[in-house]
Structure 1
Amino acid sequence: MNESRKLGKRFSSAELLRTALVVAATVAVVGLGFSILRTNALPQLATTLVAIVWGVSSVILIFYSLNLLAQIFPSKVYNKIVPYIFIGPAVLIMGWYLFLPTLRSLLLSFMDKTSTRFVWFENYRYLFSDRSMLVSIRNTLIWLVCGTGFSVLIGLTAAILAERSFVNKLSKTLIFLPMSISLVGAGVIFKFMYAAKFGGAEQIGLLNAIGVSLGIEPQNWLGKAPWNNFFLIAIFVWLQTGFALVVLSAALNAVPEEMIEAARIDGAGEFRILMQIVIPNIKASIISVSTTILLAALKCFDIVYSMTNGMFGTEVLASQQYKQMFTFQNYGRGSAIAILILVGVSPVIYYNLKEFRNKEAFK
């Protein structure tokens, strides 16, 4: 009894024994499951089932065991450490899958193609001197400006018009539907739309079919730089507009109707109401949507890869990074491009985290 009081709680020997057994069982289950999956001795279906059951049970046992261990401490200590118990595994996993690979990529970016010799800033010098890399940086900037700008602008316009439409729900659904299509799937769809046949052959591409019917010569939409980049960006905008529409529609619904009615009574026009009342009230949502789409545009790789594979002057940083790493097997340059993308993403992530901390829920 004296020992249990020193521990801060009235723990009996049976409870301490149970805690020890649960911790031992957790270690055994986690280790045994990992060993079984690592050997890859089971059939594929059995491996999948074991991974699901083992993964769920391991997570439950880990949190339960950590909670039992925390209860051994005094109440003041328990209340302080229990939040870290529940966020600790997630932080460790994020660190293992994000922080450590980032450090490794940073190290590899200072090494040669085979990652055996330090070349220091040679890879970064290549990024800002090679012509193809400069084209990739230019195209990425075009994607960031046009892809983000048009997605937010069209999404905001559609949200405002949809609120005044008698087919509100139907119009929003139709605009949001492309969000269910993968980037590669959208690329395949638009590849057929942009397809061109020459020499009098029948056109299977929608754009050229319409053009030929109007007496216009068929065009190689994806082969003419730099305009082909805008045709690729159009696919991205088509996919992201639905996301902007949904978020901004919710923000528009939160704008006080009394404020708008008061402005109308004072004689304000609709455009003035939009610019001086509606937009300022949904400014936070516009910024949130813009930063989210900006991140998606910065790392967009699927559309370029499935449509042109980076040919005809359509390379972006993400496609260059993939080619350097997996096609040319140049891990130094590939890692340097990855670090460059990370540097571009970091200010946006920092801004979002800063805004989240300023929210009342996070104070």
Structure 2
Amino acid sequence: MMLNASARKRGVPLIAMWSVLVPLLNLFVHWRIFIFLRDSALHPVVYAILAILWGVGGVYLIYWSLNWVIEQYSNTWRRRIQPFLFIGPAIGLLGWLLLIPTIRTLVMSFQDENSDKFVGLANYVAVFTNRILLTALRNNLLWVVFGATACIVLGLLIAVLADRSSFERLAKVIIFMPMAISMVAAGVIWKFIYYYQPGDDQIGLLNAIVVSFGGEPQAWTTMTQPWNNLFLIAILIWMQTGFAMVILSAALKGVPEEILEAARMDGAGEFRIFFRIIIPFIATTLLSVTTTIIVFTLKIFDVVMVMTGGQYDTEVVATQFYRQFFMFQNNGYGSTLAIVLLIAVIPVIVFNLRQMRRQGEI
């Protein structure tokens, strides 16, 4: 035992040296590979092959080498260090790609448009007093209240009805199909559906149907508030209902049939079973779907930009952020809008995490 202890003590400097040399060697090797790929004039196919080999092989080499170093430590220290080996790189990347830019954006939100002078809360005051920015905030609220709610309610309703139908697979495929389309492509598709031109010759699908029944064609996306926003929100509902349906349908299949049969034998009606048994049973999944769709809705950008470009009082926070930061070069306003959007998303995520933790404890 004493020999083993003394041998370990003699090996400590060697382990410490390897603990420093191996990460440095990894950094040097991968930096040299990066320089080689950056400066070499290779065929694009060769570039792609080398990048794939470097990405896959490089990650494995980093893991294997660092794990080898950790294996040289005693069991006690190995158990302490190994978790950091697995989660350390992920935390480092999150800090680099998310935390640092967030802090930088927060600092810029307290500066002027050129990020030269500290202006305090002036940008935040402007966001909540400027008419255009207030319209953007109000529209985001419309998207969340009507868009997210409709997606969740329709997704749950379709999931329940589809599970009891003999055409379950076909119905789910049709409802889920829009999820395969990008938001930009969906905007282009619905732009043709809502297309309006003066006269009776209408090429827009919706106006063609209205005219065929003797009605007057309408400029659906340029009419007064809030109707034009509601027609844009319909696109979100068309796309995200399938997502809610699939997730909630999987949760519904996990409800024990014995409980449902017992409730029916006790005389409970289908509505009572739905609200007293099914909803509480899938509450965690329902909360996760709700959170996901609300966060997605708060960040909505593509549809509004493609359909109206934010005109006709359809601006949302994301389009105003893009306009202020990239088009008007107003770093202060743009950063403030980004922080406002972040603040709006944080409570939703925190609430979701608390509910999931509570469910885990139960």
TM-score normalised by structure 1 residue count = 0.92
| Residue of structure 2 equivalent to 1:222 | 221
- 1:185-334 to structure 2, matched below 5 A, reads 185-200=185-200, 202-224=201-223, 225-334=225-334
Deviates more, 1:32-41 or 1:209-218: 32-41
Which residue of structure 2 aligns with residue 83 of structure 1?
Answer: 83
2: CA distance between counterparts of 1:16 and 1:346? 41
Residues 41, 99 of structure 1: CA spacing in aligned structure 2 closer, same or farther, 3 A cutoff? Answer: farther
Paired letter, 1:151: C
> Is the Cα–Cα contact under 8 Å of residues 109 and 123 in structure 2 kept in the other structure?
yes
Instruction: Measure, in 2, the Cα distance between the counterparts of 1:212 and 1:17.
Output: 81
| Structure 1 residues 18 and 124, CA gap change in structure 2 (3 angstroms) | closer
- Structure 2 gap segments, 5+ residues each: none
- Tell me, in whole angstroms, the C-alpha distance in 2 between the residues paired with 1:205 and 1:156: 31
Tell me the distance in 1 between the aligned counterparts of 2:77 and 2:353.
29
Q: 1:337 to 1:204 in 2, by over 3 A?
A: same
Shift of 1:33: 2.2
Please tell me the residue identity of whatever aligns with 1:214. Answer: F
> Structure 1 residues 21 and 347, CA, compared in 2 at 3 Å: closer, same or farther?
closer
- CA separation in 2, counterparts of 1:359 and 1:283? 9
Q: Contact 2:162–2:168 (CA<8 Å) still a contact in 1?
A: yes
Is contact 1:248–1:286 with CA below 8 Å preserved after alignment?
Answer: yes
Query: Does residue 1:335 correspond to 2:335, yes or no?
Result: yes
The one-letter code sitting in structure 2 at the alignment partner of 1:339 is I
Q: Distance in 2 between matches of 1:350 and 1:217?
A: 48
Structure-2 separation of matches of 1:40 and 1:296: 41
Q: Is the 8 A contact 1:19 1:65 kept in 2?
A: no
Change (3 A) 1:41 1:343: farther
> What residue number does 2:30 align with?
30
Mapping of 1:87-126 within 5 angstroms? 87-126=87-126
Mapped to 2, the partners of 1:173 and 1:68 lie a distance apart of 48
Gaps in structure 1 of 5+ consecutive residues: none
Quote the residue 2:57 is aligned against. 57
Partner of 1:144: 144
Aligned to 2:68: 68
Which residue does 1:184 correspond to in 2?
A: 184
Q: Distance in 1 between matches of 2:178 and 2:7?
A: 61
**Aligned in 2, Cα 1:57/1:22: closer, same or farther, shift over 3 Å?**
farther
User: How far is 1:355 from its partner?
Assistant: 3.6
**What is the distance in 2 between the residues matched to 1:131 and 1:219?**
27
- Residue identity in the other structure for 1:309: G
Structure 1 CA distance, aligned partners of 2:10 and 2:82?
16
- Paired residue type of 1:213: S
Could you tell me the TM-score, scaled by structure 2's length? 0.92
Using the TM superposition, give the Cα deviation of residue 277 of structure 1 relative to its aligned residue in structure 2, in angstroms. Answer: 1.4
Q: Provide the rounded CA distance (Å) in 2 between the counterparts of 1:73 and 1:328.
A: 56
Q: CA deviation at 1:22?
A: 5.9
Amino acid paired to 1:77: W
- Compare 214-223 and 273-282 and name the one that shifted more: 273-282
**How many Å apart are 1:243 and its aligned residue?**
0.8
Q: Does the Cα contact within 8 Å between 1:184 and 1:306 map onto a contact in 2?
A: yes
2:205 partner amino acid: L
Aligned AA (1:350): V
Moved more, 254-263 or 27-36: 27-36
User: How many residue pairs get matched?
Assistant: 358
The CA RMSD over aligned residues, in Å, is 2.5
Offset of residue 333 of structure 1 = 0.6
